[in-house]
Structure 1
Amino acid sequence: MAEVQLFVPVRLFMGVLSCDDAAADAAMSVLSGEYGSLRACSTPVPFSQTDYYDHEMGTRPKRSFCVFETLVDPSSLARIKHLTNGLEKRFLNENGGRMVNLDPGLLSGGSLILATTKNRSHRIALSDGIYGEVTLIYFKGGFQAFPWTYADYGSQENRALFSSWRTDYLKDLDVLKRTEKS
């Protein structure tokens, strides 16, 4: 029988959709207070893959991705998703629509996992109504998409971004392991 091992810490990242820069900055400030400083953020770009959020947000949102400096226990993903859902409710427009959409996820050496409240055949129940989805896997030198991967996550540009963040994560993980051995 195999021995139970502690989870390897992973990099917390956040997919951010927003039509209001101030709301996005305020939400990320709250998350930084909870999970540590941001290590990097991509430049916000118009979210053109779908118009799904346009009506709720009142206009076409912008998409960015951010990663946090501090590594997290992967078993905390459901709790993080509940926190981001609460933050989204704090930033509503005059029509009651979200001004910011926060999609927490975990980046590791082998995958990029998103948290969601929506159950589908390829998602696994985590806890308290939150599911995890393997959105990308690292295979043959790069992140690979699945048929269910959202178009923006699966774009060549964003997969390259996630790969660069993976490289940084692996370096940090190596330092952490060497520090623990000393």
Structure 2
Amino acid sequence: MIAMQYSFTLPADYDMSIIDRRIRDKGPLLDGFPNLGFKAYLSARKGEFGSQDNLYAPFYLWQRPEGASDFLCGPGFAALTGAFGWPQVKTWIIWQAEISPDIAAARFATREILQIEPYAPLAEIRRAESAETEADVATGGALASICGFEPTTWTRVRFSLWRAIPECGAHMQAYRLGHLSLART
């Protein structure tokens, strides 16, 4: 599994109803996309939940890397880049992904990207992050929780989907979830 996210920072006076409409119209197009775990269509408004910017920032969980490749090489991504520009696509190797059967009830998301110090004990970090990810869903708080790492920039990601917005930490970006595309069942 891999996770993937790109983000577009929009002007402070940008009409975010354009993004809401895009999510409403385009969101269902990825429902059941091959090799997709889920796609969370995310947006943030400047000043809401501590966001510094207006953002459009979809987050993906791919069951297989071929799904990410097929999407990025396909017409949907080409249309997106035609509308918003060529983004940097962040990817992470998944350490743990926990998904509640109630995932469709999610309305918010949070994401943290944290630096991994040089020579850090990766196996210990992986165990701790994986245990926290499992606990987030097992306790009924999160509807999905994912942790992973990226060994080029040595960062780790924590991503969660929620019914209600949780308290946000200093390194956390909160989002509204406009649509959730899920794998075929």
TM-score, structure 2 normalization: 0.34
Instruction: Name whichever structure is richer in strand by fraction.
Output: 2
Does 1 or 2 have the higher relative contact order (CA < 8 Å, sep 6+)?
2
Instruction: Name whichever structure is richer in helix by fraction.
Output: 1
TM-score, structure 1 normalization: 0.34
